[in-house]
Homo-oligomer: A and B are copies of this chain.
Amino acid sequence: MSLIVQKFGGTSVKDAQRIRKVASIVTEKYRAGNDVVAVVSAQGDTTDNLIAKAAEITDNPTKREMDMLLSSGEQISASLLAMCLQHMGYPAISLTGWQAGFLTSSAHTSARIRRVMPDRIRKELDQKKIVVVCGFQGISRYDDITTLGRGGSDTSAVAIAAAMHADLCQIYTDVEGVFTADPRYVHGARKLSEISYDEMLELATLGAQVLNNRSVEMAKKYNIELEVLSSYHSVPGTIVKEKVRMEKMLISGVAKDTDVARLSIQCVPDRPGTVFKLFSKLASKNINVDVILQSVGRGGTKDIAFTVARDKGELALKICERFSELIGAGEVDYDDNIAKVSIVGAGMESHAGVAAKMFEALYNRQINIRMISTSEIKVSVIIDKGDADRAVSAIHDMFFPEED
């Protein structure tokens, strides 16, 4: 007998019909003799509807009250799934975040799970119940309801799996697994049967929306085997784990991210600590800096360029302008008509020439590279936004030539 944690996203529980489908997935594992914990998100549009309700009241709701408001969403979907399971004749119970023992930080709307106390879940499992848990939410040390932020239900599922030493954590979603590129746009994109945590992390950071990053980090930390699979079609998904067998593939995927903005500051005085000051100022405002390019200093100054998430672009621009004025640097330039295209693959580490092959693919299509960033298992390039789709196809074709 195994303990299996299954997570179902908002589209998977969006209406009565989908909930019945989810119930059939859950009970299949239960009938096979497993303990099953099902973690659910809010139904389809519920979260957006609740946000709209708040917007009618105020354009600046406090985060504490937003958490109170939004956490009602999973309470609805969890109770409906439990009812459905009971209707089918299975013992089931739904639990809110606090009932399920999710203790979090007090950072409302983006709380971090500090600890899961799964006593109640364990008690219900011991009574042979299917336990339906509200994802995305927990409780702070002040007994206030918190949420983990969007995508947080993945993390809820992994956290339960870790706390209870589950044998498997399945993330059910509306795609069939992790693909070598976005199958909606890239002809010939293939589903991976396995991918490593690190590759998955890079892919997630780079714009592949399959799994929430914090959930992968947590799975890696506690060595929880994840399976990403579809709640629509009963086909094997993608297993995410520490070591994957090499499938003669150098890279596991190509990803694009168009929500990027590039900032550059000219003529920054070449003194120790200047760049550090700028980046710590940005960090203090919760702005993550991604690809960084620093020119070789000449004439006692250097140019600095970097990318940030586009929704942080405006704030970053203000900070840069103030910074430039303060230290007597030159003009600040802003451009969000760009895209980041990346390849990810653990195979890179042991194979030279992967980056060169990527650049070759871009050169063949006459796509200009504006910035480059590499890690051990990733190469990212910044290009014009208009070139993004062509670039992804070109790179994918180069690394995954059409099979006969």
How many copies the complex holds: the figure is 2
Q: Which of B54, B75, B83, B143 contacts A61 (CB 8 A)?
A: B83
Binds B, one of A93-101, A179-187, A190-198, A204-212: A93-101
Check B58–A99 contact: CB distance below 8 A: no
Check A99–B57 contact: CB distance below 8 A: no
**Most B-side CB within 10 Å, residue of A19, A83, A84, A120:** A83
Check A86–B65 contact: CB distance below 8 A: yes
Tell me which residues across on chain B come within 8 A of A75, comparing CB atoms: 68-69, 71-72, 75
Q: Known contacts A58-B83, A87-B57; is A93 also within 8 Å of B64 by CB?
A: yes
| A contacts with B, residue count (CB < 8 A) | 39
Query: Smallest CB–CB gap between A143 and chain B, Å?
Result: 6
Check A94–B82 contact: CB distance below 8 A: no
Per-residue CB contact flags for chain A residues 9-32 toward chain B (1 = under 8 Å, else 0) read: 000000110011000000000000
Tell me if A56 is interfacial: C-beta within 8 Å of chain B. Answer: yes
Q: Which of B57, B76, B86, B120 contacts A19 (CB 8 A)?
A: B57
Check B83–A79 contact: CB distance below 8 A: no
Q: Which of B61, B83, B143, B145 contacts A65 (CB 8 A)?
A: B83
Check B57–A76 contact: CB distance below 8 A: no
Query: Smallest CB–CB gap between A66 and chain B, Å?
Result: 8
Q: Which of B19, B65, B78 contacts A82 (CB 8 A)?
A: B65
Residue of B nearest to A53 (CB): B80
Check B78–A68 contact: CB distance below 8 A: yes
Q: Known contacts A65-B82, A65-B83, A99-B143; is A76 also within 8 Å of B60 by CB?
A: no
Tell me if A50 is interfacial: C-beta within 8 Å of chain B. Answer: yes
Instruction: State the CA gap A61–B57 with chains docked (Å).
Output: 34
Check B68–A82 contact: CB distance below 8 A: yes
Query: Smallest CB–CB gap between A174 and chain B, Å?
Result: 21
Check B64–A80 contact: CB distance below 8 A: no
Check A79–B86 contact: CB distance below 8 A: no
Tell me which residues across on chain B come within 8 A of A50, comparing CB atoms: 76
Tell me if A62 is interfacial: C-beta within 8 Å of chain B. Answer: yes
Check A62–B86 contact: CB distance below 8 A: yes
Residue of B nearest to A54 (CB): B83
Instruction: State the CA gap A80–B16 with chains docked (Å).
Output: 27
Instruction: State the CA gap A73–B79 with chains docked (Å).
Output: 13
Check A54–B68 contact: CB distance below 8 A: no
Check A53–B82 contact: CB distance below 8 A: no
**Most B-side CB within 10 Å, residue of A79, A86, A93, A120:** A79
Query: Smallest CB–CB gap between A247 and chain B, Å?
Result: 42
Check A87–B60 contact: CB distance below 8 A: yes
Tell me which residues across on chain B come within 8 A of A73, comparing CB atoms: 72
Tell me which residues across on chain B come within 8 A of A66, comparing CB atoms: 79
Q: A68-B94, A69-B83 are in contact. List 15 more A-B contacts (CB 8 A).
A: A16-B56, A50-B76, A54-B80, A57-B84, A61-B83, A62-B82, A62-B83, A64-B93, A65-B79, A65-B86, A69-B75, A69-B76, A69-B80, A99-B143, A99-B144
Can you list 13 A-B contacts with CB-CB less than 8 angstroms, sorted by A residue number?
Answer: A16-B57, A53-B80, A58-B87, A60-B87, A62-B83, A66-B79, A68-B78, A68-B79, A69-B76, A69-B80, A72-B73, A72-B76, A99-B143
Q: Which 9 interchain pairs have the tightest Cβ spacing? A: A58-B87, A72-B72, A16-B56, A68-B79, A69-B79, A72-B75, A65-B79, A61-B83, A65-B83
